[in-house]
């Protein structure tokens, strides 16, 4: 089930509140252009600055608007196991198809602690769980051995790998049969070459069709077609991380007229030099 292009959807804001009209339009843009699954309330969705009430409502709203046309994966991670458990229970109760749980950030648990965190949630909530490894944001990396141990738990079904390490991906795939999804847009093609099955993508927020086509081409064994799209998307994959995600992708969507460029502190607007560089690339891709 967990293959293809999965968009890590932004959360648009308007005057300090979630902009549900813009969110609904983003959902339609994704589905119309071939995105395979939608993931609200991940790190790209600024989940860390959403209140619990907002987090719950965004998940419910996305499920309502998607209306089972594509699967919805709810971001439900936290550095507190109890909080992640509550968010994951809500995701299941709301009707999400799966939950994405980031490794606990800031408190830097040991490998044993990471295992116990995911084991606790998986045993308490009967929903497919995707582990999210992004050490650049959390300060801790889940080891391939820990992933292999977690893969023995029936409802831990996939891992979003955003360590930036192809060695890490190779070791995971060599140890177990868990589904590996790229968490770095620029590495999707290399990760799929190692056995990955798709991407949880930031770039898909603005280029859903090409990202989906690249992944589909690879899965259908059109490796040359996928490689061509990889290089066509590569420049965008790099510029959208010129500042901390989701600052550039929200700036890009705002330039395209799809959302207001609004963040919650400590996220803030891009610097002028980086903004000019982003605008230049968007014009080259004929997005503005």
Question: What positions carry a catalytic annotation?
Answer: 132, 160
Specify which residues 214 forms β-bridges with: none
Measured CA to CA, the distance from residue 79 to residue 136 in angstroms comes to: 15
Distance from C-alpha of 38 to C-alpha of 52, rounded to nearest angstrom = 20
Are 53 and 17 contacting, i.e. CB atoms less than 8 angstroms apart? no
Longest dimension (CA), the chain: 49
| Distance separating alpha carbons of residues 262 and 270, to the nearest angstrom | 11
**How far is residue 132 from each of residues 15, 141, 144, 161, measured CA to CA in Å?**
31, 10, 13, 6
- In 40-134, beta strands by DSSP E: 73-75, 98-102, 129-133
Cα 156 to Cα 75, 131, 134: the distances in Å are 14, 7, 17
Q: What is the 3-state secondary structure (H, E, C) of 226-285?
A: HHHHHHHHHHHHHHCCCCCCCHHHHHHHHHCCCCCCCCCCCCCCCCHHHHHHHHHHHHHC
Under DSSP, is residue 126 helix (H, G, I), strand (E, B) or coil?
Answer: coil
CA 13 to chain centre: 19
The Cα 40–Cα 18 span in angstroms is 13
Query: CB neighbours of 140 closer than 8 A, spacing ≥ 6?
Result: 103, 104, 105, 108, 109, 114
């Amino acid at each position: 089930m967990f293959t293809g292009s999965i968009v890590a959807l932004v959360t648009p804001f308007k005057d300090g509140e979630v902009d549900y009209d813009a969110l609904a339009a983003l959902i339609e843009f994704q589905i119309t252009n071939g995105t395979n699954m939608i993931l609200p309330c991940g790190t790209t969705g600024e989940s860390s600055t959403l209140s619990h009430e907002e987090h719950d409502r965004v998940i419910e709203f996305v499920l309502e608007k998607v209306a089972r046309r594509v699967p919805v994966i709810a971001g439900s991670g936290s550095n507190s196991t109890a909080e992640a458990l509550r968010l994951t229970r809500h995701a299941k109760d709301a009707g999400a198809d799966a939950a994405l749980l980031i490794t606990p950030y800031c408190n830097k648990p040991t490998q044993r602690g990471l295992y116990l965190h995911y084991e606790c949630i998986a045993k308490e909530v009967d929903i497919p769980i995707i582990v999210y490894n992004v050490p650049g944001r959390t300060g801790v990396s889940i080891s391939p051995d820990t992933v292999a141990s977690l893969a023995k738990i029936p409802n831990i079904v996939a891992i979003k790998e955003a360590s930036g390490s192809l060695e890490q991906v190779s070791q995971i795939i060599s140890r177990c049969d868990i589904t590996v999804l790229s968490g770095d847009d620029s590495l999707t093609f290399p990760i799929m070459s190692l056995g990955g099955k798709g991407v949880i993508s930031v770039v898909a927020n603005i280029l859903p069709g090409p990202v989906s086509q690249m992944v589909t081409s690879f899965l259908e064994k059109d490796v040359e077609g996928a490689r061509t799209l990889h290089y066509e998307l590569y420049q965008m994959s790099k510029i959208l991380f010129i500042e901390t995600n989701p600052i550039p992708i929200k700036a890009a969507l705002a330039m395209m007229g799809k959302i207001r460029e609004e963040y919650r502190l400590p996220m803030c607007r891009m610097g002028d030099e980086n903004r000019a560089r982003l605008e230049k690339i968007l014009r080259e891709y004929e997005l503005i």
